[in-house]
Chain A
């Protein structure tokens, strides 16, 4: 009996030991079960979250910005597909290695990549490292995707301005939202990397054009590569804008300025529509909408020509003799001067111990208001100013919108200065000196204006005192509803002056062109009324114009409207350091006016190029 023998001698304790084994086994399995219960039941939700984080990434779908058209539906800003590089830190194994890889692969600055990676936001938020990648770079990254965990190339829409520099100041440019902007309530709902308008209409109408970002949930594998994507929320394209400008006129105006610094503003006095707004020097918004290196920024910002400055709405210049237009209105309205009253001009005006010269040293002789405007007699207006006083001048200046923003839909519009005794007390903490009234009477001294203000002013005169707020956007196309919402012209009020006053002044301004200081603006196509101006830059003037360094030469002004009988266009030209308004600025205004007359009449707006506006056009054709 082998078994009995074994059981009793060799394996006496065998069964007891088997029992120990069973108990031990039970204990160990119980411990395993406990551990698994702990993992799956007690900590289950925690690990469930971890596994969700492992596999899903929320990717924002950037919306396409609304398109921008000119008044005839010519495309000014659209979007083109472009490649953007994103990195999700969660999937990155070694950040430094990745930085080096990307720097090598794409020739980027490692410091810049580090900065981008270090931005705000969780590890799960994909950070944009580079936009507007070339196709070659995008392919390069794609072909190395296995070595680049966490790196994604996304196709996004990139702002594009087909016209390049054309209307750059008006349109503005776009850029990544800044940390300061992110804090502001008007940018709520945006995030780091969002593209917003940073200048021009892009900025002022950003809320309309921006659109609404969508979101997709992407399931990624262990290398952070997309496996499946579910769109949770579709991005909503921004609304389209129809501007008031005629891009053809805009180009003519810009070409007229050419390499010179200055601004040309043309608007429709009957409704305030800005037809053209040129500012030189300009910039290419396509370049600025890209990511600039700090060095590029410094170059642009430190450029002496200040190309980012929109001289039309942000440049403030003494109005010079163009200021005589509101002065003339004030003189007649306050009865300081009757239309037929004359002042004798002998080439100078003595006030106190000082003699204020007329531009014409020999003097104009006896001049009435008409002659004083036609020949721009300074002595006449010194006299008017002296009799009226600065505060009455200021009151009329303000009637015409001087010293205040026009309300145009552009960021950082400047207001200029319409001085008064109160203004000087407040701004300089000094009393007003009587002699300063004399300078102000011919648009020198403290008075400063923007070209846009002057275009609006001459338009108001042309429109018999009825003033509209200059505007750039005449309609917004809602991308969701398809509705074209036309924005009405905004009246700004009416200058308190008799129609007779405007008639007299417009007559005089017409004669300025036919036989006065602006004969170079005379057109065979259309009657033009206008006023020249020369804004002094340096107080002391010695010798002939050509001998003065250019930066001390005077600015040339010309403000005009046409046709005289029923004005359709008002123009202000400011040419920096170009000398006399009559010679330097008037011909440019004439070109702009003639171009506009040749282009007109047009179908009001939104025509051929805007497909969304088809119904509008056909209904117009039927009617």
Chain B
């Protein structure tokens, strides 16, 4: 007991393994972004420099979220959600359009993507909701939180941003499973159906006619495959496959360097990395993500209270979902939805939000042994 108390100075959670994993993954991201954009103009600064700036801002967010008691943060969940909904509404009417979707709020030379922040806020809202009181019964466990999620989800799908919408549902499902529903099978099926979605998708999707697929995809996500004929998906598969075991080396990826691969620095950064570093590089990156998620699950398991555990589970679920869906889509396992690879893809809002989430996760670990506060 004494040991535990002495451990609760607040710094034991500053886990070096955890920090190391995050930094290595971020490094891989910067390197890949630099490789694919080194011969193009990135606006006021090269893309990799801008990404380093986002990482810097992300580090600030990480420290804030790590240092500030998560109970206090959780108390701001509803106001934060309100703010996010306002921002999403603003985006809908005043947002900056790009490639057929309005997702950004212009801030001078930069732009803010509220849907990214909405994910973290949703985790806070749901964790806060479940931890407030014992929520029993279908209504309190499933329906009410579902209704809480709904306005954000609708606004995001309206942009349209299928990827963020799906991660919303995934977070909700994961947290639902963790608090438990009467029929556990339901939660399991819900979660796994989302996780296995990529693999099931191909079978279902493959049985449709071309025009049906195009209609469905045009309905769900208009910026899917604008070049037609599966160009993006094919080029991404070629990039990954042609990397073979050892890859083509830094700056050596012809698919990405010669612009066959679209969005090489954002959604398809995994393809760039795979092409240049091969299957060995892929194993390394997958290993890093698995290790990070493993540590995160440990944090969830050892969380001091309901709120901490739910926050940890929500963050892990979001991280898992983004990693799996992004890699799955670049590897051609299912249609392309715009989801960035956490910590690796270029993007200010996503990077800052993900680092803030990981800070919050460490916050949970840090306070797991402080019994009273």
Contact = CB atoms under 8 A, between A and B. Distances in A.
Interface string B262-288: 000000000000110011001100100
Given A54-B258, A222-B259, A36 B238 contact: no
Given A33-B286, A55-B260, A28 B244 contact: no
Interface stretch (B101-109, B145-153, B174-182): B174-182
A55 B248 CA distance: 14
B254 A51 contact: yes
A604 interface: no
In the complex, which of the residues A29, A41, A220 has the most CB atoms of chain B within 10 Å of its own CB atom?
A29
Interface string A1-35: 01100100111111101101110111011011101
A376 to B, nearest CB: 81
A21 B254 contact: no
Given A6-B305, A29-B286, A36-B331, A41 B258 contact: no
Contact of A48 (B244, B259, B286, B320): B244
Contacts of A39: 237, 240-241, 331-332
Q: Which of A43, A44, A51, A52 has the most CB of B within 10 A?
A: A51
Contact of A40 (B184, B279, B304, B306): B279
Interface residues of B, number: 56
A20 B188 contact: yes
Contacts of A50: 238, 241-242
A40 B270 CA distance: 13
Nearest to A42: B241
A221 interface: yes
A36 B282 contact: yes
B290 A29 contact: yes
Contacts, number: 150
B290 A48 contact: no
A345 B191 CA distance: 124
Contacts of A17: 177-178, 180, 184
B278 A40 contact: yes
Nearest to B187: A17
A26 B297 CA distance: 12
Contacts of A351: none
Given A3-B304, A36-B274, A39-B331, A24 B191 contact: yes
A32 B327 contact: yes
A45 interface: yes
B32 interface: no
Given A10-B306, A51-B255, A40 B274 contact: yes
B331 A51 contact: no
B64 interface: no
Nearest to B199: A31
B241 A220 contact: no
A359 interface: no
B331 A41 contact: no
Interface string A197-224: 0000000000000000000000111110
B328 interface: yes
A28 B326 CA distance: 13
B242 A44 contact: yes
7 nearest CB pairs, A to B: A47-B241, A44-B244, A51-B242, A40-B279, A47-B242, A222-B259, A221-B258
Interface of A: 2-3, 6, 9-15, 17-18, 20-22, 24-26, 28-29, 31-33, 35-37, 39-41, 43-48, 50-52, 54-55, 93, 219-223, 227
13 contacts: A3-B304, A11-B309, A18-B301, A21-B297, A21-B316, A28-B324, A31-B199, A33-B283, A40-B244, A44-B242, A50-B242, A52-B254, A55-B258
